[in-house]
Amino acid sequence: MPQHYLHALFNAGSVAVFGASEREDSVAGILFRNLRHAGYKGAVYPVNPKHETVFGERCYASASELPAVPELALIATPAPTVAAIMDACGERGIRHAIVLSAGFREVGAAGVALEASLTAVAKKHGIRFIGPNCLGIQRPSIGLNATFSQGATLSGDLALVSQSGAICTAMLDWAETNGIGFSSVISTGASADLDFGEILDYLASDTQTRGILLYIEGIRDARRFMSALRATSRFKPIVMVKVGRHAAGSKAVQSHTGALVGSDAVFDALVRRAGVVRVNTILQLFASARALSTHIQPGGNRLAIVTNGGGPGVMATDLAVELGVRMAELSPATIEALNAVLPANWSQANPLDIIGDATAERYRAAVAACLADDNVDGVLAMLTPQAPQAMTRPTEAAAAVIEVAKTSSKPVLTCWMGEAQVFEGRRLFKQAGIPYFTTPEPAVEVFSFLSAFYENQRQLMQTPGPLSQQAAPDAEGARLIIESALAHGRHLLNEVESKALLAAFHIPIAQTFIARDPMEAMLLAQQMGFPVAMKINSPDITHKTDVNGVRLGLSSGQAVRAAFGDMLADVKRLRPDATLDGIVLEPMVARPHAREVLLGMISDPVLGPVIVFGAGGVDVEALQDRAVTLPPLNQFLARDLIQRTRVSTLLGAFRNRPPVDRDALED
């Protein structure tokens, strides 16, 4: 099997360090020392024209003097010198580099010019590089620590890819303490060349990597990123933090990396459709890393909670409901089995409160019963040291849970709350590879995130049918409507044009006419039959009710005539600047049990076209009840989009309202 084109970058057999010195505060000097101290077995060449030796090893003046062509160049010199060094690397035959230097795009126009020069030189020589303004990379399995980060990094099967070097160092420090190892640690920096898309493509083929953690501030090539996410997440779970959720955060991201930031809701839709799980905080990323390192795989989101304390159980349940985790309904057979082994005053439901004096045997029986229940996808076992050690023994209870967990493929998460009395129990969980937490919240969050991953995988596998299966739209007619509006300098269609556009795609609309004077309005109303609705027709007015531009239930010609004059007077008074093009008349459609919904499409400047669904009507902005997804859709994906809104709960039978035709709405 041919090697990936980035294999040599991440598995370099030799490295040149440009700018190496013995100064303690020198980034290149730290790079050189880290390579030596991490046990890297390949050749390391320090390059710096100011020194003849670095830490007792020969130092070379330039790339041209190197005794062999290294597979990787590490460049940590002032920004104005980097392009020339890259050029020299290219002339020497080096084809991979990492630029750790700062002072490029993030500092303004001068830095943008330096970065453009750097990328042009790299492209000329066919050099692929990470950075600039990055921490570097680590491959612990070969002792390659090409970063200026301090501390040891354990070898493992998780890959961490981050635009922030600070996040990398924090994750590495946390992971060392918690015994979690990495296959790769990659700080992308400004991503002037290699970005998330190509790095994910490499990690998808990397046999050392089983799960991937991402920290993202912005993306440059949305299509390549989406393609790489979808391809990689088919084989390996991906958990990400994407910052810049709000305007202030997005502005900070742009000043930090210069990256474009798309709508956060649209990014969520992209991630969901790609089969990836997004978390919101670094603590949640930490917790997900711990869970991924144990390779737990929930088959659904139905959680059973076993606890010896009612309070912690309620806390965990509240959060589970907020996160969309379903509290498993225990089967009658499970309840019966538990009644035979638990005290009569146990909770008889989920969460399973097995009482404060719960013994190890009680934990063993409760967890085993839940794992055996087909209605349960995972178990969270919780303990608080509230009873005397003679009754509840945290270490023995932990051992019992571990023993039962080994008999099932369903995930078991644990939360032994406290410190001194539960320390040994947590140590046993760590040794057994069972996710353990100190409080309920991260445990529930991790189950939520991982069950969402496997739910999102169902979306990833959906393949919408070809358009040929649908009635062909009148694409040419739709194009003419849009081109006509653009030709007149308008970017908003009026109501008649909008409905004609919908009709071109076979979306049912009400019969619509335009009247330009009261008499014409009366005649049209008589032709279509009373009652009728009237609305102002203007390319400048989006919300007609704001300017008294709507009249409903007009049941006579006299009412139509009066409404015409009154409406025009109101609109001219409230919007004297608006262009008015008559009044729209439609039959008054009476649907007392109808629900108003919003369905539309927008084009995100970074991520492209997306479909929007949510609550409609005049209060649409106030309700802010919307979900977005990426086209194309099939019925499964359309149903998922609808169910992610609050209005979906009103689409079924509700009080005296019959259910809507969900199949028609999904179609």
Helices vs. strands in the chain: H and E counts, helices first? 23, 27
- Is 249's pLDDT higher than 60? no
pLDDT digits (tens, 9 = 90+) for 357-413: 999 999 999 999 999 999 999 999 999 998 666 578 999 999 999 999 999 999 999
What is the average per-residue pLDDT within 74-90?
98
CA distance 57 to 186: 28
**CATH number for the domain including 658?**
3.30.470.20
Share of the chain above pLDDT 90, in %: 59
Decide which of 282 and 417 is more confident: 417
* DSSP output for 86-147: HHHHHHHT--EEEE----SGGG-HHHHHHHHHHHHHHHHHT-EEE-SS--EEEEGGGTEEEE
**CATH number for the domain including 212?**
3.40.50.261
Instruction: Tell me whether residue 289 is in a domain.
Output: no
pLDDT value, residue 650: 82
Which pairing describes strands 513-515 and 436-437: parallel, antiparallel, or unpaired?
A: unpaired
Residue 27 and residue 130 share a domain: yes
Residue 212 and residue 359 share a domain: no
Instruction: Tell me whether residue 168 is in a domain.
Output: yes
Token reading at 588: 């008054």
Confidence bin at 465 (pLDDT 50/70/90): low
Residue 583 and residue 556 share a domain: yes
- Is 300's pLDDT higher than 60? yes
Residue 656 and residue 610 share a domain: yes
CA distance 326 to 347: 18
pLDDT value, residue 243: 82
SS3 percent helix, strand, coil of the chain, rounded to 5, is: 45, 20, 40
Pick the closest to residue 642 from 609, 605, 606, 667 (CA basis).
Answer: 667
Residue 428 and residue 316 share a domain: yes
Decide which of 277 and 607 is more confident: 277
pLDDT digits (tens, 9 = 90+) for 334-344: 999 999 999 99
Judged by average pLDDT, the poorest of 34-48, 73-87, 386-400 is: 386-400
Instruction: Tell me whether residue 377 is in a domain.
Output: yes
Instruction: Tell me whether residue 470 is in a domain.
Output: no
Judged by average pLDDT, the poorest of 196-210, 560-574, 581-595 is: 581-595
What is the average per-residue pLDDT within 546-555?
93
Decide which of 579 and 414 is more confident: 414
Q: Name the residue range of residue 567's domain.
A: 475-587
Residue 448 and residue 299 share a domain: yes
- Is 244's pLDDT higher than 80? no
pLDDT value, residue 4: 95
pLDDT value, residue 438: 93
Q: Give the chain's domain count.
A: 5
pLDDT value, residue 509: 84
Judged by average pLDDT, the poorest of 33-47, 166-180, 220-234, 512-526 is: 220-234
What is the average per-residue pLDDT within 302-319?
95
What is the average per-residue pLDDT within 30-43?
93
pLDDT value, residue 461: 66
Pick the closest to residue 89 from 119, 57, 122 (CA basis).
Answer: 122
The pTM for the full model equals 0.77
Instruction: Tell me whether residue 143 is in a domain.
Output: no
How many whole angstroms from its chain centre is CA 219?
Answer: 12
- Is 220's pLDDT higher than 50? yes
pLDDT value, residue 225: 87
Residue 528 and residue 394 share a domain: no
pLDDT digits (tens, 9 = 90+) for 477-510: 889 989 988 998 888 888 888 888 888 888 888 8
**CATH number for the domain including 16?**
3.40.50.720
What is the average per-residue pLDDT within 191-201?
95
